[in-house]
Amino acid sequence: MLRAACIITLSLYSSVAIAQAVLPSVPESVQAISLLGEELRSGAPSERLLDNLATARANYDNDPNHADNIIWLGRRVAYTGDYRGAIEVFSEGIGKHPTDARMYRHRGHRYISVREFDRAIRDFERAAVLIAETVDEVEPDGAPNPAGIPVSTLHSNIWYHLGLAHYLKGDLDLALRVYEMYRPAMPNDDMLVAFTHWHYMSLRLLGRDDEARAILEPIHEDMNVIESMPYHQLCLLYKGENETGTVLGSNITAAGGDSAMYGISNWHYYSGRHDEARVGFEEIIKKSSWASFGRIAAESDLSRKFP
């Protein structure tokens, strides 16, 4: 079982986890180096993001040991594009709250942002151990959807991001272990279509087409999807019930557009249309936000499949 393989002695993990937060050095103002060797920098944040950060920092300054204050400070720092700074905040949180799975879940997310997949996997695995036998909880949104209804939970986010980190690293068999074990536990249609999208792509890339078709059975047009519309429309595309134009027209955010473009490009790839796939991956690199999962996945594919 994956859970058993993840277990690390807690006292040892605390020191290891804090030490691993020391990232490889990069030039000043650079957040990360892309998988294609490009220096990645963040633009100036909006006034709204800075105001939110100021509020989070004031709450933290008022009580710097409170776990929620640490988490929201780290999240707000990340939303400004300072992912390395966010990692430092969550690492401080791990030092203060080494059994709080949320610290590892959020730091792992930002390790993905800076292309540190092995570090992300270690954090998500540790978080998975900490949530074992616990009741799941809704995660509040940092940027609420138009309905104002959070659609993800602590448990589902840990498993979603763990599978994603393996996928981005190119370890499809390990990604599948996560997807196969935890897709049935997704709490709602939004998380189900997101999980199914990455699960389906992993199976297709491994040539397991019959299994890929089978996992699409629960997906249908009338699902109650609030914010994961691109993933929903992609899954319908995979079923043959949709067209690429509909997928691209379903997006409400830039990150959603990157996910849609990546899903379509990858669909071309495992369908044997490699030239079209490469063009799509390269287009994502040119146009997308460098922190989006679609952009990171396109980098991963270009670096491994089209070196």
Q: Which of 300, 226, 297 is nearest to 261 (CA)?
A: 297
Domains of the chain with bracketed CATH: 2-141+149-222 (1.25.40.10)
**Contact (Cβ atoms closer than 8 angstroms) between residue 202 and residue 127:** no
Give 285-298 pLDDT, tens digit per residue: 998 799 999 999 99
152 within 8 A of 121, measured Cβ to Cβ: no
Distance between CA 204 and CA 8 in Å, rounded? 33
HEC assignment per residue over 209-238? HHHHHHHCCCCCCCCCCCCCHHHHHHHHHH
Residue-wise pLDDT tens digits, 64-112: 999 999 999 999 999 999 999 999 999 999 999 999 999 999 999 999 9
β-pair partners for 145: none
pLDDT at residue 252 greater than cutoff 70:
no
Distances (CA, A) of 190 to 165, 207, 211: 19, 26, 21
- What is the pLDDT at residue 19? 52
**Residue 12 above 50 pLDDT?**
no
Phi, psi torsion values for 123, nearest 5 degrees: -65, -45
Helix (H, G, I), strand (E, B) or coil at 88: helix
Q: Which two tokens stand for residue 34?
A: 């892309």
Alpha-carbon distance 67 to 60, whole Å? Answer: 9
177-231 pLDDT, tens digit each: 999 999 888 999 999 999 999 999 999 999 999 999 999 999 999 999 999 999 9
Q: Report if pTM > 0.85.
A: yes
Round to whole Å and give the CA distance between 231 and 157: 15
Task: State the pLDDT confidence band at 14, using cuts at 50, 70 and 90.
Answer: low
Residue written as tokens 């939303």? 79
- Residue 249, pLDDT > 90, answer no
